Structure 1
Amino acid sequence: MRLPTALIPLRHPAFRLLWLSNLVANTGMWMQNTGAGWLMTSLAPSPLMVSLVQVAALLPVFLLALPAGAMADIVDRRIFLLATQAWMAVCALLLALLTHAGALGPWGLLALSFAIGAGTAMSSPAWQATTPELVPRDDLSGAIVLNGIGFNLSRAVGPAIGGLVVALAGPEATFALNALAFLVAIAALASWKREAPRSSLPKESFLSALRAGLRFVRGSPPLRAATIRACVFFGGLAAIWGLLPLVVRKGLGLGPEWYGLMLAAMGIGAVIGGFMLPALRGRLDRGAMVVAASLLGGGSLALLGSAPHAAVGLLAMMGFGFAWLAGASTLQAAAQLATPPWVRARALGFYQVATFGALALGTALGGWAGEVVGLKLALAAFGAACALGGIAVRHMSIEAIPAPAAAPAGASVAPRPEPADPTLAPILADGRHRVLEVTRYTIDPAERRAFLAAMEECRGVRLRGGALAWRLYEDVAHPERWVELWIVESWTAHLREEERLTEHDRAALARAAGFQRGAAPPEAARYLNVMPDMLR
């Protein structure tokens, strides 16, 4: 039987195993979030304190996702994920025990929510970076959407169960069930037979990996665009997370089971959106999809704030869920497709730092606005900000970098320098010496403009590969002579450049080499900074 288009990635066994375990773990997290949000309405029922529950869960991602991404790129991701899941299981169990004993106050709830959020922050870049390992590239976009469907399916089931559990057994029961859900994820990770990528080079140090990740982000326009547009999208819609419990309890006068149903309605809308996205992608490109999601999400937020009845609130939450899934999965797919494997967790960590920072800020501002102007106006204002912001940044392209233009006739491959002299091996190995790399070109001055365009592509290749700085110089006496210079932080970093090149990068370097005039290829050389302590 042919699978529906949205479910095709599940044909891959490893992806299916981890997807199902994530579904269970996320269901547990949504049950806990429901219990924690409702518990705070009893411990400290102000809009600000209720919104701080979500801030405590989101803020760790802003603080930790980037270093977590660097760690996930330089250690075994499977072991790393096992450790983070164990940490969250212990924190969830402690939260359950303290709540059951009546020893948990509002600040204790925030502290443990922060601790569990720290585990989420540490694990999230690694989870996302594993997806391209589990499915072929042709199924990657579908797998990312399916991850979104799974997350939102858990959002539909988890809060509904959580609301009933809170009503029947109290919030501590949701915390205990969350701890059990993490054990399911641990079991799935333990059975995953991961084939770690191999390299003849030594592992990067933590700080070196962190710096290389930031340099990649600086050299990747599609990733930067996806990050900025995600901040606008998530920041505008963030108010719902802090204000929804109060909309249900005070605005609509309903109980905890209705809070769970509201979140479940959002999850249902997201699941519907996930199944419709393959058809929508045939009509809208990624940028237009994000704009449409911003408009729908902003309108749904305003409708929720003015809802006179629970039925209208449920409808608004379904529309919100549809918009959230469409925007989030599209932006995340753009970020994933813009990053090669060697830096994927770091780049996604940067993406999460920015987006979760926007979420945390938006949630806190939403709570403040709810106190100052009331729930209705606060939600309307944030909805308008999301819609107008999405339109304002629509010019920022989140599509993959286009392939380089065809190289001139007679194009050669990128130049390769001579091997290093063996007598310098001890100096090259100590890692303290920066390397200056040089490529000299002789071109036809009539092709100057086309050559500069090709070198702009080379600049992106060098910066994404780890260059600290890049320059291009023209000989003032001989305009046919050009020198490309870039600096990397060590000899090992230079050797890693070759491993980090994608097919697109190689094509860009070959195009630049194709402008070389004469039979000889461009001349490449490397120079070692032998006095690093004096020059730094």
Structure 2
Amino acid sequence: MESKRRADGTANTTFAPFRHRIFLGMWIAAVAASFGSLIQTVGAAWLMTSLSGSAEMVALVQTASGLPVAIFALAAGAIADTYDRRRVMLVALSMTFVVSVILTVCQVAGVLTANLLLALTFLIGCCLALYLPAWQSSVSEQVPREDLPAAISLNSLAFNIARSLGPAIGGAVVTIGGAAAAFATNALCYLGLIGVVAAWRRPVATNLLPRERILPAMQTGLRYVWLSPRMRAMLVRALAFGFGGSSINALLPLVARELIQGGPFTYGLLLGAFGAGSVVGALGLAKIRRRQPGDAVVKYAAAAFGLSAAVVAFSPWMVLTMLALAVSGLCWVLTLATLNVTLQMAAPRWVVGRALASFQMILFAGVAGGSWVWGRFAEDVSLSASLCLSGAVLAATMLLGARWRVPQTADDNLEPASTWTEVELRAEIDPSTGPVILFVEYDVSEERVPGFLAAMTELRQIRRRDGARRWTLLQDLADPEKWIERFESPTWADHLHRYGRGTVADREIEERVMAFHHGTDAPHIRQLIARDPVADGPKPTRDEAPAKRLGLFAIKDIMQ
């Protein structure tokens, strides 16, 4: 295994994160849980082929599993960023265990119908939606930053090790014990992960700021991702790849039954081939990423995946189909792991849960929507035509790189850094009071204005991305060298949160702006807070008629 030397002389290899006990324990437990999840997937997909012969219903099993992530991931990401991630993970895992037990009991009792199977699969997907952002964003709390890319690759490897063997084991379990045995195995496999997470003593950072409310936190996360061009590009590529690549897993039970003329064990072997390719991709990811830029990896993987889907569509031979599926698995993990690593390295810690949730939401939306589309097309036309068309769509996503290019992993310092000195307050302020308006005054000589404006363009994006509203740059007509930056936060609490989101990399841009200020002192900063004369003024006595809320604030409420 190639290694890269650290500053302290130790080797930084793919397996370096295993030196950290909590990561190793979590990884082993995650492998077991992934085995259970895939065994349950085999049981559910194959059971659906007997409960309903419809290709659309079979494909909807994957839709029911992925759709909750698309719907609830952003809320789960906000929860992961604002609450104790360990507790969030425990709640999600415990709920998964309970639903898996209910699924087992229903199948044993003989009351499980196609619709009930989809409903319970949907509930398990909801638990997964809550768990994933907390788990993925907690990796940075288990290993140091220099080990983070390797840790993310190893987590992908954990799932794909299970994917390479779990489906075949799942097929054997279903063949011997039926779907109920697969569901029960899934429930038992989650117990180990619950125990490891419960034993984890997560480092708790001191936070003096009030906790963000979930809805505003979701809006902040969306705002950050939308105003970050690099993240926007990764989300577009994830959506396109998830939509086109969803056909393989969604239609694989039908491939096993109709094209290969096999049973549940055959289906498990086909899934295992896909997983084996994924393992190879996860092990080789670090080496490939050192030799190829992320955009090239995603582009060529999409083309190869599309070609392999066409091979699966027309292959009547088990061995050829398994080889094509191995290529598909390799391309799948290379693409998603590349996007995941790039996104985590480019997101500050305060928003990483919501950034990952946005990625998962977009990816699973593509997978869920694509699963339904390809299932419907297979039902109306043919299975082979559906696989071929999905492969063509996936190959066409290569063209997206011209507009939405996957960036190189950022080396920016994303550690938090406070840049402005807070003004000493002479009165207590309720956190819900607002808006808070800031004015920053710069003195810039005329010949330096073009460079100043270019730097302010970058600073504007940072301010807005971190939560500033109504950003404006003003020039004083009476004194053309006087420039005033104006922006606001909805409330005092939002202002404090925005103030605490700046990173060291952001500070470098702010210092670049400061360099254009030629005043003897630092730029003058004024913080103002809006006051409502009715709400904040003296309260009327009982004998006085209540004051009518008119004027500026009423107009402001209507206009907004």
TM-score where L is the length of structure 1: 0.94
Distance 1:508 1:400, change over 3 A: farther
Residue 487 of structure 2 corresponds to residue 486 of structure 1: yes
How far 1:417 sits from its partner (Å)? 5.3
Residue 149 of structure 2 corresponds to residue 144 of structure 1: no
- State the match for 2:408 in structure 1: 399
- State the match for 2:424 in structure 1: 419
Give ranges in structure 1 of 5+ residues lacking alignment.
405-412
Cα displacement string for residues 347-375 of structure 1 (whole angstroms, at most 9, x for unaligned residues): 21122111111110011101011112211
Cα displacement string for residues 395-452 of structure 1 (whole angstroms, at most 9, x for unaligned residues): 4243356869xxxxxxxx95545322x23x1xx2241311111111121222222212
Alignment check: 8 A CA contact 2:237 2:400 kept: no
More displaced stretch, 523-532 vs 36-45: 523-532
Residue 93 of structure 2 corresponds to residue 85 of structure 1: yes
Alignment check: 8 A CA contact 2:278 2:333 kept: yes
Residue 285 of structure 2 corresponds to residue 277 of structure 1: yes
Alignment check: 8 A CA contact 2:295 2:401 kept: no
Distance 1:4 1:477, change over 3 A: closer
Aligned residues: 524
Work out the CA distance in 1 between the residues paired with 2:219 and 2:453.
28
Distance 1:403 1:122, change over 3 A: closer
More displaced stretch, 294-303 vs 471-480: 471-480
- State the match for 2:379 in structure 1: 371
Cα displacement string for residues 159-179 of structure 1 (whole angstroms, at most 9, x for unaligned residues): 111000000110110100100
Work out the CA distance in 1 between the residues paired with 2:486 and 2:398.
39
Amino acid at match of 1:507: E
Work out the CA distance in 2 between the residues paired with 1:418 and 1:431.
19
Alignment check: 8 A CA contact 1:129 1:344 kept: yes
How far 1:46 sits from its partner (Å)? 1.0
More displaced stretch, 459-468 vs 177-186: 459-468
How far 1:4 sits from its partner (Å)? 9.1
Residue 339 of structure 2 corresponds to residue 338 of structure 1: no
Alignment check: 8 A CA contact 1:54 1:242 kept: yes
**SS of match in other structure, 1:204:** coil
Amino acid at match of 2:305: G
How far 1:11 sits from its partner (Å)? 1.5
Work out the CA distance in 1 between the residues paired with 2:141 and 2:286.
22
**SS of match in other structure, 1:6:** coil
Residue 129 of structure 2 corresponds to residue 121 of structure 1: yes
Work out the CA distance in 1 between the residues paired with 2:59 and 2:167.
17
- State the match for 2:138 in structure 1: 130
Work out the CA distance in 2 between the residues paired with 1:106 and 1:116.
16
**SS of match in other structure, 2:15:** helix
Alignment check: 8 A CA contact 1:269 1:317 kept: yes
Work out the CA distance in 2 between the residues paired with 1:449 and 1:179.
63
Alignment check: 8 A CA contact 1:47 1:242 kept: no
Residue 58 of structure 2 corresponds to residue 53 of structure 1: no
Distance 1:331 1:394, change over 3 A: farther
Alignment check: 8 A CA contact 2:12 2:147 kept: no
Aligned ranges 1:13-412 → 2 under 5 Å? 13-397=21-405, 398-400=407-409
How far 1:461 sits from its partner (Å)? 1.8
Work out the CA distance in 1 between the residues paired with 2:431 and 2:329.
53
Alignment check: 8 A CA contact 2:431 2:493 kept: no
Cα displacement string for residues 272-308 of structure 1 (whole angstroms, at most 9, x for unaligned residues): 1111222211210111111121112111111111112
Give ranges in structure 2 of 5+ residues lacking alignment.
4-10, 536-552
- State the match for 2:530 in structure 1: 529
**SS of match in other structure, 2:291:** coil
Work out the CA distance in 2 between the residues paired with 1:526 and 1:208.
22
**SS of match in other structure, 2:283:** helix
Work out the CA distance in 2 between the residues paired with 1:379 and 1:246.
11
More displaced stretch, 384-393 vs 473-482: 473-482
More displaced stretch, 438-447 vs 73-82: 438-447
Amino acid at match of 1:97: V
How far 1:30 sits from its partner (Å)? 0.4
Amino acid at match of 1:490: T
Work out the CA distance in 1 between the residues paired with 2:13 and 2:431.
52
Alignment check: 8 A CA contact 1:27 1:154 kept: yes
- State the match for 1:410 in structure 2: none
How far 1:86 sits from its partner (Å)? 0.7
Distance 1:415 1:129, change over 3 A: closer
Q: Highest CA radius of gyration, 1 or 2?
A: 2
How far 1:493 sits from its partner (Å)? 2.0
More displaced stretch, 523-532 vs 49-58: 523-532
Alignment check: 8 A CA contact 1:288 1:394 kept: no
- State the match for 1:464 in structure 2: 465
**SS of match in other structure, 1:469:** strand
Alignment check: 8 A CA contact 1:296 1:319 kept: yes
How far 1:468 sits from its partner (Å)? 2.8
- State the match for 2:511 in structure 1: 510
Work out the CA distance in 1 between the residues paired with 2:30 and 2:288.
26
Amino acid at match of 1:203: R
Work out the CA distance in 2 between the residues paired with 1:154 and 1:106.
26
Amino acid at match of 1:452: L
Cα displacement string for residues 146-201 of structure 1 (whole angstroms, at most 9, x for unaligned residues): 11111111111211110000001101101001001111111010111101221112
Work out the CA distance in 2 between the residues paired with 1:430 and 1:441.
29
Alignment check: 8 A CA contact 1:444 1:517 kept: yes
**SS of match in other structure, 2:473:** strand
Work out the CA distance in 2 between the residues paired with 1:85 and 1:499.
32
Amino acid at match of 2:211: K
Amino acid at match of 1:45: G
More displaced stretch, 191-200 vs 387-396: 387-396
Distance 1:116 1:60, change over 3 A: same
More displaced stretch, 120-129 vs 196-205: 196-205
Work out the CA distance in 2 between the residues paired with 1:274 and 1:467.
39
Alignment check: 8 A CA contact 1:229 1:390 kept: no
Amino acid at match of 1:187: G
Work out the CA distance in 2 between the residues paired with 1:18 and 1:32.
21
- State the match for 1:473 in structure 2: 474
**SS of match in other structure, 1:500:** coil
Cα displacement string for residues 472-502 of structure 1 (whole angstroms, at most 9, x for unaligned residues): 2233454432221111122122222332111
